[in-house]
Amino acid sequence: MYTFLDGLDDRLDNIRSDVLQLKPFPTVEQAYAYVRREAIRQTVMLTNNGNSTAAAMVSRGGKTYLPRQQTLQINRAGMAPTAGRNLHHLARPKGQVESEGSGCSHCGNMKHTRETCFKLHGYPDWWSELKTRKQRTSSGDTGQASLANTKPQLSLAPLVESGEAATSLPNDQGNTESKNDWIVDSGATDHMTYCSDDFSNTTEPRRTGISNANGVVYPVTGAGTVHISTSLLLTNTLLVPSLSNKLLSVSQVTEDLNCVVLMYPKFCLFQDILTKEIIGRGTKREGLYYVDDFNIGNVNTVRRSLLTKENQIWLWHYRLGHPSFSYMKYLFPELFLNLNYAEFKCETCILAKSHRVSFLISLNKSDTPFALVHSDVWGPSPITTVSGMRWFVTFVDDCTRMTWLYLLKRKDEVFDVFCMFEAMVHTQFSANIQILRSDNGGSM
């Protein structure tokens, strides 16, 4: 592991430190996956060619085309070879500058250079396996595009399918739909099914019986190959009539298909180790992961058939910015069948859309001007006026609502201003202030 990381180029120093900080400590294969993903990302960022899509495979007319990408072979001892066949991009000597050409001068292909030409340096060990896998995949529908994300941490958006939510929810273990689905089982040593109709072809079973957790042995009556999808092929599947569910073994599928299984709280993904292509997925139901009907081209969607009508209504309520449920009834009439929209109460809507209760009309009003005067002091202001004022005091007549405002430099000037205001009322209006009401701020 350390020899492999030490042979990386200087531009991969960040990913080298990230790999050493992973917990638990990764294997050589896992470290290679991290390094390769970062190298591809840097290549795409530094290349101005618009065709540098290192994360896509497009199949046309049954043929699959791969964009140029640098690879690295790991031997049994965990050491990276130094022959230079596939190491010009990742593990060349430190300080060496990578030369980018306009194409391969040997075969004329514009998608790679002479240094990475397989025809000149020889094909890698995984080439024949990848070619066989692509031929098997291309035997299905043509003209579709399958995205292969180079990062295992995928951002997947749920796809809501109305009309199926209430019917696809399993009620018990004897439900027919649940029994026909394949359960992802990390504790099973082999793929197992109870139905012989699942086999596309039959083979000799590798064992005569299987034992469950209680030690009970069930007989194996046959074996064969099961095609769940065009990319998910289960070989050496055992036929066990005593089972009540179909089991997909994690250990067997990762070994046979050279893939990894990524477990998430609500779904799981099957991802090819070499191409990073998503070849299958499953949805969590009642604590178990069931394999979904996977179609090529839908790698960024996850079927969420477990959503009830109520959950779908709440989901669209959040997505659309909390509209009223009476309005949503016109948008999604099929979701509100046999449901009363008045029963849906959103706490966020209640708090955000509620209005302040208006004050009651007060009949307690003075009949004579200056019989009651309201006063309040405000300040200090963060901005000082040109004349240096930072405070102000207001006097409001309760009868006429006439307001006087005086600017102050300091708060202790309030009493002097009030004396000036009282003198002005006495001189100009020939009246006396009978009651002065304030908030007891202590400025008078």
Residue 202: how many CA atoms within 13 Å on its side-chain side?
7
Examine residue 244 and state whether it is found in any structural domain, yes or no: yes
Least-confidence region, from 25-34, 65-74, 245-254: 65-74
Q: Which helix (H) or strand (E) holds 260?
A: strand 259-263
Residues 208 and 267 in one domain: yes
Question: Residue 313 has which token pair?
Answer: 């209504």
Residues 100 and 180 in one domain: no
Whether 150 is in a domain gets the answer no
pLDDT in tens, 21-38: 777 888 877 888 888 888
CA dist 17 and 2 (Å) reads 11
What does DSSP say about strands 145-147 and 56-60: parallel, antiparallel, or unpaired?
antiparallel
Both 137 and 172 in one domain: the answer is no
Task: Give the residue from 82, 107, 141 where a domain finishes.
Answer: 141
pLDDT value for 298: 44
pLDDT at 357 over 70: yes
pLDDT at 425 over 90: yes
297 and 178: one domain? yes
Instruction: Tell me, yes or no, whether 359 lies in a domain.
Output: no
Contact indicator for 429, 402 with CB cutoff of 8 Å: no
Q: Which of the pair, 240 or 356, is modelled with greater confidence?
A: 240
What's the average model confidence in pLDDT over 375-379?
A: 92
74 found inside a domain: yes
**Structure pTM?**
0.33
Same domain, 135 and 264: no
* Residues 161 and 235 both lie in one domain: yes
Mean pLDDT value across the chain:
75
Residue 444 has a pLDDT of 64
CB 115 within 8 A of CB 92: no
The residue among 223, 224, 219 whose CA lies nearest residue 241 is 219
pLDDT recorded at residue 231: 81
Residues 203 and 258 in one domain: yes
Two structure tokens written together for 92: 């060349």
**Angle formed at CA 130 by CA 127 and CA 136, multiple of 5 degrees:** 140
Taking the CB of residue 250, how many other CB atoms lie within 10 A of it? 19
pLDDT greater than 90 at residue 416: yes
Q: What is the pLDDT of residue 398?
A: 92
Domain extent, residue 381, equals 372-437
Which residues are 233's β-sheet partners? 227
Looking at the structure, tell me whether residues 261 and 378 fall in a common domain.
Answer: no
Say if residue 82's pLDDT is above 50. Answer: no
pLDDT, average across residues 321-326:
91
The structural domain count of the chain equals 4
pLDDT tens for each residue of 91-126: 444 434 344 446 788 787 877 787 778 777 777 777
Q: What DSSP string describes 63-107?
A: EEE----------TTSPPP-SSSS-TTTSPPTTPPPPP-SS-TTT
SS3 14: helix
- Are both 179 and 242 inside the same structural domain? yes
- Please state, in angstroms and rounded to a whole number, the distance separating the CA atoms of residues 210 and 216: 8
Query: What band does 49 get if pLDDT is binned at 50, 70 and 90?
Result: very low
As given in the structure block, the two tokens for residue 190 are 């082999």
Cα Rg of the chain, angstroms:
37
Place of tokens 């400025």: 443
The per-residue pLDDT for 339 is 85
* Mean pLDDT, residues 310-329 taken together: 90
Distance, in Å, from the CA atom of 125 to the CA atom of 123, rounded to the nearest integer, reads: 7
Reduce the DSSP state of residue 135 to 3 states and report it.
Answer: helix
- Distance separating alpha carbons of residues 282 and 178, to the nearest angstrom: 13
- Cα separation, 399 vs 174, in Å, equals 81
Same domain, 298 and 166: yes
| Dist. CA 229–CA 250, nearest whole Å | 16
Instruction: Evaluate if residue 184 carries a pLDDT over 90.
Output: yes
Residue range 78-85: mean pLDDT, rounded: 41
Q: Does residue 235 contact residue 229 with C-beta atoms inside 8 Å?
A: no
CATH number reported for the structural domain that contains residue 426 in this entry: 3.30.420.10
Q: Over the range 10-24, which residues count as b (16 or more CB within 10 Å of their CB) and which as e?
A: eebeebbeebeeeee
Sole residue written with tokens 């995984």: 126
CB 218 within 8 A of CB 209: yes
Tokens 């024949």 belong to residue: 128
| Same-domain status, 224 and 118 | no
Rounded Cα–Cα distance for residues 51 and 69 (Å):
12
Which of 102-116, 168-182, 272-286 has the least mean pLDDT? 168-182
